[in-house]
Amino acid sequence: TVSTSGYFAEQRSKLNKQLTVGVSDISDCVHGASELFELKENVGSRLEQLGATLEQHILLQNQERENFTKNSTELEAKLRETEAEVERYKRELAQQKFRSLQDSLTKLPNRSAFEERLNMEFSRWQNGQTPLTIAIVDVDFFKDINDNFGHIAGDKTLQVIAGTLNKALKNDGFVCRYGGEEFAIIFCLDENQVKDKMELAREKVANIPFKFKTDDIRITVSAGVASFNN
């Protein structure tokens, strides 16, 4: 920390001054001594003081090094904690983004996701990178299912149809629940290719064995296809 660094700097400055004074005193003793005995006695005592100061200097350096290592370790730990926290927030934001673009009933991408993907594919189409075709699917006589068998049956119907369309088309298109009983699919294919694939998907939906209470029901869907043309 700043306060700790200031303490070590202050102590280091004091010891440096003591060392400077000690060396100066020894020099004065050498030049001022008239007898060898006097020189030995005076220089000896000052050398002891100088040695003690040097030991304090070394001790201070060791303490400063240990403090630096401790602070570095603490900072690294805090940095790792911060990085982990940032990653957690990123995951939470990604999950929130995913949930905001997912239809809660069918688990397909929702209308917002459709519009976001359409904007992206439209830009690619404008640049001449890919063709672009949209298909809209509507469940035939869906209101009758709700009226005759209840909304739970209607919800289940949408879930099953959504799963069938997604399984049949996900390798070729971006399948979304557009709203109500409508589904929208974005294809980077030409119109004729999409018509063929939609006919196969329509047949798969028609062959789903729906059963409500004691009634076996055949449910169909209708689809419209439109391509973007230059």
Phi-psi region of 186 (alpha: psi -120 to 50; beta: other; left: phi over 0): beta
Question: What is the full DSSP assignment across 144-208?
Answer: HHHHHH-HHHHHHHHHHHHHHHHHHHTTTEEEEEEETTEEEEEESS-HHHHHHHHHHHHHHHHT-
3-class secondary structure, 221 = strand
Phi-psi region of 179 (alpha: psi -120 to 50; beta: other; left: phi over 0): left
For the question of residue 66 being annotated catalytic, the response is: no
Residue bearing tokens 């004091």? 14
The Cβ-side half-sphere exposure at 51, using a 13 Å CA radius, reads 6
Select which of 38, 121, 181, 191 is catalytic: 181
Active-site residue list: 181
